[in-house]
Amino acid sequence: MDPESLKGVIVPLTTPFDASGEIDRRAYRAQIEWMLAEGVDGIVVGGSTGEGFALDEGEVVELAHIALEAAAGRVPVMASILADCTRTAVRRAGQLAALGLTALQVAPPHYIFAPSDDGLLSFYRDVAATTRLPIVIYNVISWANVRPAVAARILDRVPSVVAVKQSDKDLGTFADLVRAIGPERVFGAIDGSLMSCYDLKAAGSIAAIASAIPSVNVALWRAVGRGDRGRALELNSGLGEVWEHLAAQNLPARVKAAQAAQGMAAGLPRAPMEPVSPDLAARIAAVIGRIRAL
């Protein structure tokens, strides 16, 4: 699928696990069908919401293969690389290269030692040399984010790096990034205020909140696109309320609770992350029910 199709609401899939910590492939396929029925514009495998940090390389490849098979060309499919050294990222890119994905979402090395600016450029250049797939810089680690000026340098010098997903909560930094590389190359992940990202003409979003409540996120994107400010403000406010219930260290578990509230067999998080408590699940279900009714 043409990488130019990367726009709109691109959803980071969760990874459903059973009680023994194994992937529930049937639930995963069902989730993909649900997302497509809700009108999303693309899907991402193995990101932070998908507990990519807890997946081994073989699992990411398998999940990407299943997603491509299930999507069957209806929407773009991206896969994520979360690695702490160039060697590992290059190996993973090579494994994913032959699957027919639309693009790769690649986080900068992020353990506790952030690379230098030159190190980041070399990292993305080396990963790009392994695959012809377009690459989206995955800015999700707060202490290792690629700064706007460095992102502009990477996009200028590594042609297959085509965009940045910006997860920083700072809207000022988001605006700086838009100015540095152009809005058509930025995807928003300021989950509690995606309308602000769209107002800055971002290409779309790749945000956990869309995995939790896809239909309302699709409605927001479309309302902004047609200039319906009143409707967009209403939906954005509702999504902000949802985000208040999701933003925590156990975000994937909370997103799964939101999916379960909408009838999905979302499965469990992978240990050591724990499922949400019954009380929290009930509160998440209540807010999801209210916002879906908007």
How far apart (Å, rounded) are the C-alpha atoms in residues 213 and 44? 15
Helices (H), ranges, 192-277: 194-199, 208-212, 214-225, 229-246, 251-260
Q: What pLDDT sits at residue 2?
A: 61
3-state helix, strand, coil in the chain (%, to 5): 50, 15, 35
Write out the residue range of the structural domain in which residue 46 sits.
Answer: 3-292
- Per-10-residue mean pLDDT of the chain, 294 residues long, equals 82 98 98 98 97 96 98 97 96 96 96 90 97 95 90 98 90 95 96 96 98 98 98 97 97 98 97 98 98 94
Residue type, 175: A
Per-residue model confidence (pLDDT) at position 174: 95
Cα 240 → chain centroid: 17
Task: Return the SS3 of 103.
Answer: strand
Measure the CA dihedral 228/231/234/239, to 10°: -90
Amino acid 169: pLDDT: 78
The pLDDT assigned to 3 comes to: 59
Cα–chain center distance at 30: 18
Which runs of consecutive H residues, i.e. helices, occur in 261-294?
278-292
Beta-carbon count within 10 A of 111 CB:
11
Radius of gyration of the chain (CA): 18
Total domains in the chain come to 1
- Sign, CA torsion 275/140/199/14: negative
DSSP 17: B
Element (H, E) at 45: strand 42-45
CA angle in degrees (0–180, nearest 5) for 210-81-187 = 40
Q: Please tell me the predicted confidence (pLDDT) of residue 4.
A: 76
CATH number at residue 61: 3.20.20.70
Tokens of 45: 């495998």
Q: Which two tokens stand for residue 237?
A: 């406010």
